[in-house]
Chains A and B, each alone.
Chain A
């Protein structure tokens, strides 16, 4: 079975531009979460979606938005890019949005975004 897939692998943008990152969860998983990992730090939670609805949001500005599609894939959008948005963006999938001992999150390889 394929794991969590993300595209693109790497991306270079300039300040002020917009970016869309994509994630496909593990087959059968209905929940997708997004994390931002700045160099040298642990991942920081951005969003969680379950059954196309937002179930959680981290402390990120409104420039960050996301959505989940009927096939459970997801997009993360970032508007008006800043230099500080340069980071590894990770997508994780799980069975549901709940937290249980059966509901571990499985992470994709991430998208490396560089903002110049």
Chain B
């Protein structure tokens, strides 16, 4: 699985968009980009994933660069409840194999008033 690099921490004012970058310069053509988050003292929560097209769901948007070497998770209107550690993970979808998630240290997002 390709390695990812994320900033250690970021701050965002409540109501503003939070843009969380992830570098995955060694990503291969069939690897997806997944985002999970972990709110303090809880288990990780799936947010969104994508291959090469931008994706949007009710939680967030995922922007993947054309060369796929980096991506940005966007929380359009951050709230205090979005304060969490955000993990960017790249993985090949391969049915029949152990679908383990390889977590890095993630980005600690602090949303403030």
Interface SS, B side: loop
Asked whether A90 lies within 8 Å of B43 as measured between CB atoms, the reply is yes
Asked whether B44 lies within 8 Å of A98 as measured between CB atoms, the reply is no
Tell whether A55 pairs with B98 under 8 Å between CB atoms, given A101-B32, A101-B93: yes
Does A107 sit at the interface, judged by CB under 8 A?
A: yes
Residues of B close to A42: CB separation below 8 A = 85, 87, 103-106
Tell whether A99 pairs with B103 under 8 Å between CB atoms, given A43-B44, A105-B46, A107-B43: no
Total interface residues on A, CB under 8 Å, equals: 32
* B contact set with A: CB distance below 8 Å: 32, 41-46, 49, 85, 87, 91-106
Q: Please list 19 pairs of residues, one from A and one from B, whose beta carbons are closer than 8 Å in the complex, sorted by A's number.
A: A4-B43, A31-B99, A35-B101, A41-B105, A42-B87, A44-B103, A45-B102, A48-B98, A48-B100, A56-B97, A56-B98, A97-B97, A97-B98, A98-B97, A101-B32, A101-B49, A101-B93, A105-B99, A106-B46
